Structures are given as C-alpha cells and as structure tokens.
C-alpha cells in the first residue's frame, strides 16, 4: 500500500478515535452542575457521604486520607500514601468529578446534582 | 535466536528503561493521573517494526516489570501490565493489517495503554467512577501517540539494522 493511502488511513483512524473521545466526554467527562454530596467509597463500597454545602474536615478510611469540604469544593487535605496523587488532584465540585487514592483503594465522587431536584419534586 | 537479535533486544529494553526514568522525572503537568508522554513506547514501536511482534512484546513486558520494581509503588505493576498488554495487542493487530503507518499504530497503543490502566483501576477499586477520566486520558493518549509514532518512524527509517 502506498504512503498516501496509509496516511489517509492514519488520519481516518485518528479521526474515529477523536470522535469516540468526544462521545465519551459528553457521556462521562462533561460536568456542568454542582454536586450535592461527596461520596466516599473504599474498595467499591460506599462508606460515607458528606453534604457539599457544609464545610468540614473528615478523616477517611481510619485516617489514611483526610477530606476537606469548603464552599462547595471538596479535596484531599492529607494522605498517608507515598505519591500523594490524590492531594495533587485538587478541588472537585461538579457532579461526576472524582478523586482517587489508588494505594488505599479509595475514591471520592461528587454526586447528585439532579437527585436534589428529584427529591424536591418527587 | 540469533545473538545479534538478543543483543539488540537487550539494548532496546535498556533504552526503554532510560526513557521511563527520564519521564518519571518530568513533574505531572495536569491534575489527571495517568497523563503522560509514554516515551518508552518509542522503544516498543521501534522493536515492533525492526524486530517483530514477539520481540516487541518481550521488550514491553520486561520493561514494565523492571521499571515497576525500580521506580514503582506497590500496585503500579498491575496498572502498567494491564496497559502494556492491551496496548501491545492493539498495536500488533493494527500493524498486521498492513493498512496503517507507525503513527496510527502508536496512537492506538497510547490510547489502549490508558484504557487498560483505567480498566484495571476500576477493577481494583471495584467501582466505575473513574470513567470520568476516560475521555481526558484517551485524548492525551492520541496526542502522545502522534508524537511517539513520528519519532519512532524516524528511528525505524534512520537506523540501519539487519537482524
């Protein structure tokens, strides 16, 4: 196959991957509503949820990570793991956003922009 | 296996490890875990085109094991192996079609590496909340893949090697 055809196939494949990325972005990555809960999961099980509109500092998972919530933003303030990736992940506030601490199998997800409305109307 | 081939493979693994080390010294520039250049993939793509698919798989997997041992923390190996295996399967398969250049092959490798890592993380964490990162990691995998693919193509062209 000549170079020109290969180049065309390359561009085509990259375009398909970009389109797929776009679809996934609108499906999972796009966040435009503030969440109501910071949901903490350890090993896949929900262990705690904290209201995003209440300021506070919460030790998680027996103290391996410390979650802080202030003015509708949640972040990990302290962690006992060596890499501190979860602390570097910064502040989350929008529904769907997530902070993970892989060494401790812990995730903090912002959830429930819509649920609040559902609770009020339903 | 010819001695020369073994030697070239060993050199390629060494280069891949150096590239991994260099990359580990670059501080994270976005707050999304897993976003990186994947410099070591230059060596894997090079091996795929110059040595063959089995050799590329050996280079990739040995690199992953050694790098995790040397610079990794605990569970790093699981994520890296998942990423490396998925990426290898995709790259080998795509190259075998003969329809694409090393750029498309490397882009596929970059994307699948990230998909494999997220998949493994979701499996270990027992939750799929990490899907939030998927589009961002796929996009970074595409960008990195283009750069790596072009670099690898230049190397494959320039380095004269009979094995």
pLDDT in tens, A15-48: 999 999 999 999 888 877 888 999 999 988 999 9
Q: How far is A82 from chain B (nearest CA, A)?
A: 8
Q: In the block, which residue shows the tokens 């966040």? A: A31
Q: How far is B151 from chain A (nearest CA, A)?
A: 15
Measured CA to CA, the distance from residue B80 to residue B83 in angstroms comes to 5
Answer whether residue A114 shows pLDDT above 70. Answer: no
Nearest to B84 by CA among B46, B41, B36, B143: B41
Please answer yes or no on whether B98 and A1 come within 8 Å at the CB atom: yes
Answer whether residue B17 shows pLDDT above 90. Answer: yes
Residue-level pLDDT at A10? 95
- Residue A33 burial (10 A CB sphere; 0-12, 13-18, 19+): middle
A 65-94: CB under 8 A from B: 81-83, 85, 88-90
Q: How far is A56 from chain B (nearest CA, A)?
A: 23
Mean pLDDT of B128-144: 92
Q: State the SS3 of chain B.
A: CCHHHHHHHHHHHHHHHHHHHHHHHCCCCCCCCCCCCCCCHHHHHHHHHHCCHHHHHHHHHHHHHHHHHHHCCCCHHHHHHHHHHHHHHHHHHHHHHCCCCHHHHHHHHHHHHHHHHHHHHHHHHCCCHHHHHHHHHHHHHHHHHHHHHHHHHHHHHHCCCCC
Chain B positions in Cβ-Cβ contact with residue A15 (cut-off 8 Å): none
Site from B119, B126, B135, B139 to mutate, A interface, most A CB atoms within 10 angstroms? B135
Nearest to B57 by CA among B81, B24, B74: B81
Domains present along chain B, CATH in parentheses: 3-158 (1.10.1760.20)
Cβ count within 10 A of residue A22: 14
Please answer yes or no on whether B136 and A98 come within 8 Å at the CB atom: no
ipTM of the assembly? 0.88
């Amino acid at each position: 196959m000549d170079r020109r055809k290969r180049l065309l196939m390359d561009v085509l494949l990259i375009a398909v991957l970009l389109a797929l990325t776009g679809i996934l972005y609108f499906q999972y990555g796009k966040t435009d509503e503030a969440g109501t809960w910071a949901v903490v999961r350890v090993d896949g099980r929900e262990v705690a949820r904290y209201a995003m509109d209440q300021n506070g500092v919460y030790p998680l998972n027996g103290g391996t990570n410390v979650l802080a919530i202030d003015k509708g933003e949640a972040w990990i303030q302290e962690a006992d793991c060596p890499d501190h990736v979860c602390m570097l992940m910064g502040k989350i506030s929008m529904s769907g956003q997530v902070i993970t601490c892989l060494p401790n199998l812990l995730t903090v997800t912002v959830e429930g922009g819509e649920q609040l409305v559902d609770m009020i109307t339903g | 296996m010819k001695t020369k081939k073994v030697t070239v493979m060993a050199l390629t693994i060494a280069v891949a490890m150096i590239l991994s080390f260099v990359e580990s010294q670059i501080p994270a520039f976005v707050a999304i875990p897993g976003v990186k250049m994947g410099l070591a993939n230059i060596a894997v793509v090079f091996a795929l085109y110059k040595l063959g698919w089995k050799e590329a798989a050996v280079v990739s997997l040995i690199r992953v094991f050694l790098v995790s041992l040397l610079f990794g923390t605990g569970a790093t190996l699981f994520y890296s192996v998942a990423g490396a295996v998925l990426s290898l399967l995709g790259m080998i398969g795509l190259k075998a079609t003969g329809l694409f250049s090393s750029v498309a092959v490397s882009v596929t490798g970059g994307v699948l590496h990230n998909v494999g890592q997220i998949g493994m993380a979701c499996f270990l964490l027992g939750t799929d909340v990490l899907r939030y990162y998927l589009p961002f990691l796929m996009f970074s995998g595409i960008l990195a893949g283009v750069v790596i693919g072009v670099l690898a193509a230049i190397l494959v062209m320039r380095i004269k090697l009979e094995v």
